[in-house]
Amino acid sequence: MSSGSSQLQDIADRVIAQAARGEQVEAYVARGVETDIRIYEGEVEHFVSAQSEGIGIRVIKDGRTGFAYAGTLDESAIASVLAQARDNVAFGTPDEWAGLAEPDGVAVVPQELWNEALAAYPTADKIALAKELERLTAASDPRVRVDDANYSDGAGETAVATTTGIRVNGRENACYVSVSTLADDGDETQTGFGFSVGRSPHEFDLAKAAREAADRATRLLGAIKPPSKRVTVVLDPYVTAQFLGVISSALNGENVIKGRSLFANRVGESVASPLFTLIDDPTNPKAYTATDIDGEGLAARRNSLIEAGVLQGFVHSSYSARRAGTVSTGNSVRGGFKGTPGVGCLAMQLKPGARTQAELVADVEDGVLIQMVQGLHSGVNPISGDFSTGASGLLISKGQLGAPVREFTIASTLQRMLHDIVEVGGDVDWLPSMAAGVSLVIADVTMSGA
Amino acid sequence: MRKGGDFAEVYAEDKSSTSAGLDDGRVEQVSSGRDRGAGIRVVVGETTGFAYTADLSEAGLRAAAEAASAVASQGGAGTRVVSLTRSPAHVVNRIEIYPDTVGKAAKVSLLQRVDEAARSMGGAIGQVSAGYADSRKRIIVANSDGLLAEDEQVRHILRISVVANGDAGMQTGFESLGHTIGFELFDQHDVEELARTAARQAITKLRARPAPSGAIPVVIKAGSGGVLFHEACGHGLEADLVSKGASVYRGKVGELVASPLVTLVDDGTMAGEWGAIGIDDEGHPSQHNVLIQDGVLTDYMWDHLRARKEGHAHSGNGRRQSYMHLPMVRMTNTYVLNGTENAEDIIRDTPYGVYVAKLGGGSVNTASGDFVFGMTEAYLIENGELTDPLREGNLIGNGPQVLRDIDALANDFAMGNPGTCGKDGQGVPVGDGQPTLRVKSMTIGGTAA
């Protein structure tokens, strides 16, 4: 986040200058604009153009923390936010580890997060892109209808200042197109989606987005409910990325110290197959969530989490690190000015293997290629490790892809699944999510269907 | 409306909120928030232009209106003067104690009471976290049809999560209490008992065995399975999805779509419930809408644009997350009316199956009807009796099929926990409820043979 706004930094600086003796104060100031265009049947269905701004202020005194925010940068509102945050301090429980981050000397790895070509891109061309995506998708298969085609972009600038010496600001922008599809065959309707993301619209691959959206919907037409049995599953890169998102909760240092991680006290032990090597590396510019600083303003960095199946450590913010007797790994995350920072992985990547998905499938005797999952938020408990999710995909028999299947679940436990990993594919896909995707083969999973 | 347009609307909101979190035995922080702004919508033909701003000065609103109308009206400019008629207040929720009249210490002490009560359940309790939140939101909506309506929405919610430690690992329990009433909520309910319930849930699950795998009968406890109807058919009855042909229920009004036992209602007027509102976010009064009567589909839910386009009456279902969002068709409180059987009899008549005492979240694909939801507390039914607790898992089904497969409905109606319904990236508060019921076959996503 380079060359940010001095105006926002001035606001943050002015707030922390008002800190009283014995007070730590942090001001986080943000401003953003967004455009959201939806096309339906060749016409603009809606066009959203919006701007927002706000400030969040944290005050820590005698180990107690108070916080307040407002969705405005109005001078009088900011004064009231600081007063509210101060007032809230009195109601916290003293916590000897409470405190803001302090500069730790780790050098920032600069990222190119701002793209002038996007900032200058004309509105008419954005509309044209979404219309073109709708046209390409509808033309790709006679069974496919387009539910909607969308163009979205956003640009934001932020500034952070603390009385402990953090002072950073920056700006970033990004854009994406997406399309939702419906495919009909008689009474049956199935759905699909496709997308393309970029720092600028020039990076979009509309043809690929259209093809995937049509394919996702049509491949499920005529799908059957499979029988219930134990199988080997091959997770599509898109599904693996979501699986890694679930694992990230157990690698969160705050969850570890608060007794909510199934990996607690297991550093140095084998928690996964030797084929499983996992890093969190937001400094890799290929990652969709690449960033140069974390939510507290410390440098983002590369962290090894699991090496050849052996747990290496956890991700930390300055607070969780202080409690755990270690140092921040630059993994403070914050969702904007309305909240205080927490802990989280930033850009996970599984070390890829060498083979293609087709080669992985060819080795599976009896299994399913899982192309989509539904209900990861409801059927997976990252604390107990119970894992159960709705799924759809293609049956695999003797190394050959077979009939499409839907309305079934796959279930195991996270602990077992990590040990039951048979192979990691070589097909890394830098998806627009917190984890990169790659095909993943897991044995002995229960499929529940008819 | 300087630039004309078929329809124009201003939605303004002013919301103050307080939240407090306790975790690991400490009140980690108290937070205060203020969100204030306006969303302006201009519709020309099939195109909607929308802009929002936190700047409520005349200049700020004018700039947003210009932005909203710029894209919508590429045609001729024109001025239409609209005279606004203030709608009579439609008061659904009665508030006794406003959140801003209660000291923060009282709010924080709720969390400490909850923490203590959960930990009193024994040494297996490893961790407790609790969250308190209140909000007071005032909205005002005016549109070019001359509508001018206001509402005030006050919400209080308390959430409790508990982790229990056993020989075979950790298990979790969760309870929540949320209503659209004032702080009197906490005088009317026993929050300590709620905490003990969450703790018992976690402790009971320590001896849970893996859930079955495959299609078997499922009995769902009263007040725990409204989310089933929310997912299995509620979303599919939203007129925006229906009109785009993205619902399995399109063209089915007047047809039998569920077991004749089922009468399904969406009711924004159910006072105090989590989805209760005086007016929707387009200014129309909330209503009691019957969606399915004795198994027959009677109507969909509507927002302003869809109702206007199809000449249908408003149903009070046009909702949005905040001034930063466009309204769309959303549920309020969605529930199934009582049947006639005794809940105990339904269990006794089930030789083998799963009894779900608590459901977690869910999701649905409205076009195919396939849905999932998580069971967070469940027991095996063997020979008509509840036996072992089961580990967590998803249930999966197809909406139209499950509605037809409901073969028993009890007379013990209860509302469920407060929920947040997500659609197209927006979350709105919703309620749900149902009596104990049985679905003759659903797929349980467990691991046991």
DSSP notation for A138-195: HHT-TTEEEEEEEEEEEEEEEEEEETTS-EEEEEEEEEEEEEEEEEEETTEEEEEEEE
Separation CA A256–CA B202 (nearest Å): 19
pLDDT in tens, B335-346: 999 999 999 999
pLDDT tier, B73 (very low <50, low <70, confident <90, very high otherwise): low
The answer on pLDDT for B75 being more than 50 is: no
- Identify whether the C-beta of residue A298 lies closer than 8 Å to the C-beta of residue A160: no
Residues of A in contact with B16 (CB under 8 A): none
Q: In this complex, how many residue pairs, one in chain A and one in chain B, have their CB atoms less than 8 Å apart?
A: 257
CB–CB of A378 and B362 under 8 A?
A: yes
Q: Which of residues 327-356 of A touch B (CB under 8 A)?
A: 338-340
- The Cα diameter of chain B in Å comes to 74
- Report the run of H or E that residue A128 belongs to, with start and end: helix A123-139
Q: Could you tell me if A265 lies within 8 Å of chain B, comparing CB atoms?
A: no
Q: How far A230 CA lies from chain B's nearest CA (Å)? A: 9
Give me the residues of B, 22-51, that contact A with CB < 8 A: 22-37, 45-51
For the stretch B140-166, what's the b/e string if a residue is b when 16 or more beta carbons lie within 10 angstroms of its beta carbon? bbbbbeebbbbbebbbbbbbbbbbbbb
8 A C-beta contact, residue B98 and residue B16? no
B253 touching chain A per CB within 8 A: no
Contact B47 A43 (CB under 8 A): yes
Q: Mutation test of the interface with chain A: which of B42, B170, B241, B394, choosing the one with the most A Cβ atoms within 10 A? A: B394
Confidence at residue B62, expressed as pLDDT on a 0 to 100 scale: 87
Mutate to test the interface with A, among B74, B396, B424 (most CBs of A within 10 A): B396
In the stretch 344-403 of chain B, residues with CB closer than 8 A to chain A read 360-363, 365, 367-368, 370, 372-374, 391-394, 396-398
Contact across the interface for A182 and B163, Cβ inside 8 Å: no
The distance of B288 to chain A (nearest Cα, Å) reads 29
Q: At what angle do helices A206-218 and A123-139 cross, to 10 degrees?
A: 40
Closest CA to A49 of B53, B47, B74, B328: B53
Whether B301 and chain A come into contact, CB under 8 Å, resolves to no
Residue B340 C-alpha, separation from nearest chain A C-alpha, in angstroms:
31
Decide if B372 and A375 are in contact by the 8 Å CB cutoff. Answer: yes
Interchain proximity B372–A189, CB inside 8 Å: no
Would you call B33 and A259 a contact, using CB atoms and an 8 Å cutoff? no
- Nearest CA to B427 out of B418, B437, B435, B415 is that of B418
Q: Confidence class of residue B245 from pLDDT cuts 50, 70 and 90? A: confident
Q: Is the pTM of this model over 0.90?
A: yes
Is B396 close to A188, i.e. CB distance below 8 A?
A: no
Q: How many CB atoms lie within 10 A of CB A450?
A: 13
A189: which chain B residues are within 8 Å (Cβ-Cβ)?
245-246, 248, 367-368
Q: What is the ipTM of this complex?
A: 0.91
Res B2 pLDDT > 90: no
DSSP letter string over A320-367? HHHHHTS---S-EE--STTS--EE--SSEEEPP-S--HHHHHHT-SEE
Euclidean distance between CA atoms A390 and A379, whole angstroms: 8
Tokens of B254: 């007047």
With an 8 Å Cβ cutoff, are A384 and B214 in contact? no
Name residue, tokens 């036992």: B261
The C-alpha torsion from B411 through B412 and B415 to B416, rounded to 10°, is -120
Q: How high is the pLDDT of residue A2?
A: 44
Q: What's residue B420's pLDDT?
A: 94
Q: Which residue has the tokens 């490893």?
A: B126
Contact A55, A337 (CB under 8 A): yes
Highest averaged pLDDT of the listed ranges B44-58, B66-80, B278-292:
B278-292
Contact A448 B365 (CB under 8 A): no
How many Å apart are CA B139 and CA B327, to the nearest integer?
A: 13
Question: Which residues of chain B does A124 touch, with a Cβ-Cβ cutoff of 8 Å?
Answer: none
Query: Per-residue pLDDT averaged across B367-386, rounded?
Result: 94
Q: Are the beta carbons of B368 and A220 separated by less than 8 Å?
A: yes
Q: How far B259 CA lies from chain A's nearest CA (Å)?
A: 20
B77, pLDDT greater than 60: no
Closest CA to B30 of B102, B101, B104: B104
Determine the distance in angstroms separating the CA of A449 from the nearest CA of chain B, rounded to an integer: 5
The residue type found at A157 is: E
Q: Are A332 and A320 in contact (CB under 8 A)?
A: no
- Residue B115 is which amino acid? D
Query: Token pair of A412, please?
Result: 């195991």
> What is the Cα–Cα distance from B233 to B401, expressed in whole angstroms?
10
* Residue numbers of B between 154 and 183 with CB closer than 8 Å to A: 163, 165, 169-172
Q: Is B307 near chain A, with CB under 8 Å? A: no
Answer whether A218 touches B (CB < 8 Å): no
Confirm if B225 and B359 have CB atoms less than 8 A apart: yes
Answer whether B446 touches A (CB < 8 Å): yes
pLDDT at A310: 98
Reduced 3-state DSSP string for chain B = CCECCCEEEEEEEEEEEEEEEEECCEEEEEEEEEEEEEEEEEEECCEEEEEEECCCCHHHHHHHHHHHHHHHCCCCCECCCCCCEECCCCCCCCCCCCHHHCCHHHHHHHHHHHHHHHHCCCCCEEEEEEEEEEEEEEEEEEECCCEEEEEEEEEEEEEEEEEEEECCEEEEEEEEEEECCCCCHHHHCCHHHHHHHHHHHHHHHCCCECCEEEEEEEEECCCCCHHHHHHHHHHHHEHHHHHCCCCCCCCCCCCECCCCCCCEEEECCCCCCCCCCCECCCCCECCEEEEEECCEECCCECCHHHHHHCCCCCCCCEECCCCCCCCEECCCEEEECCCCECHHHHHHCCCEEEEEEEEEEEEECCCCCEEEEEEEEEEEEECCEEEEEECCEEEEEEHHHHHHCEEEEECCCEECCCEEEEECCEEEEEEEEECCEEEEEEEEECCEC
CA distances from A148 to A30, A41, A44, B388 (A): 31, 8, 10, 47
**Continuous segment of H or E residues that includes residue A98:** none
Cβ-nearest to A66 among B29, B45, B363: B29
Tell me which residue in B127, B171, B391 faces A258 most closely, judged by beta carbons: B127
- In this structure, the strands spanning A348-350 and A366-374 are unpaired
Residue A89's pLDDT is what?
Answer: 97
Of A48, A54, A375, the CB nearest to B394: A375
Nearest CB to A84: which of B22, B32, B446? B32
Chain B environment of A87 (Cβ under 8 Å): 32, 104
Q: What gap in Å lies between CA B346 and CA B342, rounded to an integer?
A: 7
Query: Which pLDDT value is given to residue A371?
Result: 96
**Which residues fall within 8 angstroms of residue A94, CB to CB, at 6 or more apart?**
A62, A63, A64
Tokens read off for B10: 């201003």
End-to-end CA distance of chain A: 52
Distances in Å between the Cα of B98 and the Cα atoms of B17, B103, B183 are 11, 11, 6
How many CB atoms neighbour CB A215 within 10 A?
Answer: 18
> Does the beta-carbon distance from B23 to A72 stay under 8 Å?
no
Q: Which tens digit of pLDDT belongs to each residue from B12-60? A: 999 999 999 999 999 999 999 999 999 999 999 889 999 998 888 888 8
Of B401, B407, B379, B410, nearest in space to B392 by CA: B379
**pLDDT of B67:** 81
How many angstroms away from the CA of A327 is the closest CA of chain B?
21
Alpha carbon separation from A317 to A97, A298, A321, A331 (Å, rounded): 12, 9, 6, 5
- Distance between CA atoms of residues A421 and A247, nearest Å: 14
* A95/A319 Cα distance (integer angstroms): 10
Q: Taking CB atoms and an 8 Å limit, are B169 and A385 in contact across chains?
A: yes
Pairwise CB contact (< 8 Å): A69 & B32: yes
Q: Which residues contact A185 (CB under 8 A, 6 or more apart)?
A: A143, A221, A222
Which residues 6+ apart lie within 8 Å of B338 measured at CB? Answer: B409, B410, B411, B412, B413, B435
Which helix (H) or strand (E) element contains residue A13?
Answer: helix A6-16
Question: In chain B, which among 421-440 make CB contacts under 8 A with chain A?
Answer: none
State the Cα–Cα distance between residues A36 and B150, nearest whole angstrom.
28
Rounded Cα gap, residues B213 and A449, in angstroms: 8
450 residues of chain A, pLDDT tens digit each: 445 678 999 999 999 999 999 999 999 999 999 999 999 999 999 999 888 999 999 999 999 999 999 999 999 999 999 999 999 999 999 999 999 999 999 999 999 999 999 999 999 999 999 999 999 999 999 999 999 999 999 999 999 999 999 999 999 999 999 999 999 998 899 999 999 998 899 999 999 999 999 999 999 999 999 999 999 999 999 999 999 999 999 999 999 999 999 999 999 999 999 999 999 999 999 999 999 999 999 999 999 999 999 999 999 999 999 999 999 999 999 989 999 999 999 999 999 999 999 999 999 999 999 999 998 888 899 999 999 999 999 999 999 999 999 999 999 999 999 999 999 999 999 999 999 999 999 999 999 998
Residue A371 near chain B (CB below 8 Å): no
The answer, yes or no, to whether residue B390 has pLDDT greater than 80, is yes
Q: At what angle do helices B104-119 and B191-205 cross, to 10 degrees?
A: 30
